[in-house]
Structure 1
């Protein structure tokens, strides 16, 4: 187990039944007690892909780095819920981003270091040199001397970003693994797709809608039509499915706005008008009125309190 102690081999993935907030909290506690500022990063680099179940096997079977990272991003829900991994190529740069979707799960420095370390370990499997990494970003603010990680990686990380991400030269996407894959890539891809289909069938619609809204709220207004299309459903079918689970779309949207709005107010310096538009409100006044209804105080008063570490994790 990743959480089993420093002396044990880094082979097994976290128990899939462990709630994400518990896992992240445990990582944060262990990170706080460790004097080694590189511990979780290096632990991520050393994770055996074979220990990550179907996802790890599908990634390890890929013939190029680009294929491996696409498989990792697509199959990540098999490893961890309520999270998002994206992989994009823009011109001569490629980037892979990671974040926990629920903003109440905070702080999560250890989790981001572990996951980006895992991604760097995949890159290393395909012979990506240090100089190919062009940028490294974290959501959290620096709490230790960043020069330790900078010396290790050959690049100074940036902090306080919207997502955790690694940006690197797109030229290395065609790199082949240092050791030939042991599994057939097509077979493992079919296994992964089947597992993803099973996961979607088993996940309550309310939970899927909640995650979709949180995952897209940073990218503009989210509405019922968009979410229904993403789920492959009509709006009527979506309403029926949610009603069967005792929820309505507007209730889920309101909850997502509430928790995401709080995170933006206390963990960023964005103007309240910008936050209002990002959450889908017509103006700052509408957002401030809703925020005061949720928390009993205005966004301005909450920001003055300096509650950036507020979390559901205790």
Structure 2
């Protein structure tokens, strides 16, 4: 799995560093989240959320331009979710409709960077800031949930949000009434949305062409594990290629779909075992195993000990939060 990244032009200003400090176009996402966590640890407030709310669309390049030209909030949030891969790799952002509510979810897929606190608060704050551009008041937010557990920053965050977040959930999520999606921008648009969407699509195509096929497969499988089908056929369809092209392309890179699937299960399973208290049966189901026995056999083969012993040993893998 390739190193997860965030665009330096976004990360460096958030961290309060001069742009020259970036050095390269991309910054390792693990470095960014670690620096964010260190700052949050010393200042346990809602600063990360506020930074997200205050982020200027201009800093988001083509994506920010398309969001700014959106004709309503629904279009803006759909654009944000679609174009987010330009800002950060191995990340899932989705807009969905459930029971008359609009849900915007954010999830870093890389198991080495899970769970996170400051990064999640920053990202949901950015989504909230986009909503504000379409006249959504703070009290119009129906609910907020986080992957991380409550800690010393909870009180300040609750006071700022005006709603008590839910913690320890599967995804970081912001909920709105579906009716809010029709809201028009507070400030009139200056450019054509269709043209900015076209530019966004061109940028996404260029990025996809520069990304190894194996990296794209890793990202898709990690996004689907525990959330839907992640078969070879499903993956090929999602990437817009045939199963034969998928097999041949991965073979040319010295890999295979089954090998990548196994690596994803191993990484995600290790993270769930050592950094969560989920029952083993639930982890097995999330990873796509037919039963807990198959899951236990796989982990005993990989690590030399069964899952229960691995969990009891308290073994540590590199992670932002320990």
**Partners of 2:148 and 2:309 in 1: CA distance:** 22
Report the CA distance shift for 1:6/1:194 in structure 2 as closer, same or farther (over 3 A).
closer
Question: Which sits farther off after the overlay, 171-180 or 73-82?
Answer: 171-180
Q: Tell whether 2:107 aligns with 1:99.
A: yes
What is aligned with 2:29? Answer: 20
SS for the counterpart of 2:164 is coil
**Partners of 1:14 and 1:218 in 2: CA distance:** 37
Q: Is this contact kept in 2: 1:106–1:311, CA < 8 A?
A: no
What is aligned with 1:250? Answer: 258
SS for the counterpart of 1:135 is strand
Q: CA deviation at 1:273?
A: 2.0
**Partners of 2:23 and 2:83 in 1: CA distance:** 16
SS for the counterpart of 1:218 is coil
What is aligned with 1:217? Answer: 225
**Given the alignment, which residue of 71, 75, 89 partners 1:81?**
89
What is aligned with 1:196? Answer: 204
Report the CA distance shift for 1:278/1:83 in structure 2 as closer, same or farther (over 3 A).
same
What is aligned with 2:116? Answer: 108
**Given the alignment, which residue of 136, 139, 146 partners 1:138?**
146
Q: CA deviation at 1:275?
A: 1.8
What are the equivalent positions in structure 2 for 1:116-195 lying under 5 Å apart?
A: 116-195=124-203
**Partners of 2:249 and 2:236 in 1: CA distance:** 11
Gap regions ≥5 residues in structure 1: none
Q: Tell whether 2:71 aligns with 1:63.
A: yes
**Partners of 2:280 and 2:17 in 1: CA distance:** 47
What CA deviation, in whole Å up to 9, does each residue of 1:118-163 have, x standing for no partner? Answer: 0010011111012221110111112214221111111001111111
Gap regions ≥5 residues in structure 2: 1-9
Q: Is this contact kept in 2: 1:107–1:311, CA < 8 A?
A: no
Q: Is this contact kept in 2: 1:220–1:280, CA < 8 A?
A: no
What is aligned with 2:236? Answer: 228
Q: CA deviation at 1:270?
A: 2.7
**Count of equivalent residues:** 310
What CA deviation, in whole Å up to 9, does each residue of 1:49-95 have, x standing for no partner? Answer: 01110011111110111110000000000111110100012242101
SS for the counterpart of 1:219 is coil
Report the CA distance shift for 1:163/1:16 in structure 2 as closer, same or farther (over 3 A).
farther
Q: Tell whether 2:282 aligns with 1:274.
A: yes
**Partners of 1:32 and 1:15 in 2: CA distance:** 27
**Partners of 2:29 and 2:15 in 1: CA distance:** 21
What are the equivalent positions in structure 2 for 1:38-53 lying under 5 Å apart?
A: 38-53=46-61
Q: Is this contact kept in 1: 2:58–2:65, CA < 8 A?
A: yes
RMSD: 2.3
TM-score, normalization: structure 1?
0.92
What are the equivalent positions in structure 2 for 1:268-307 lying under 5 Å apart?
A: 268-306=276-314
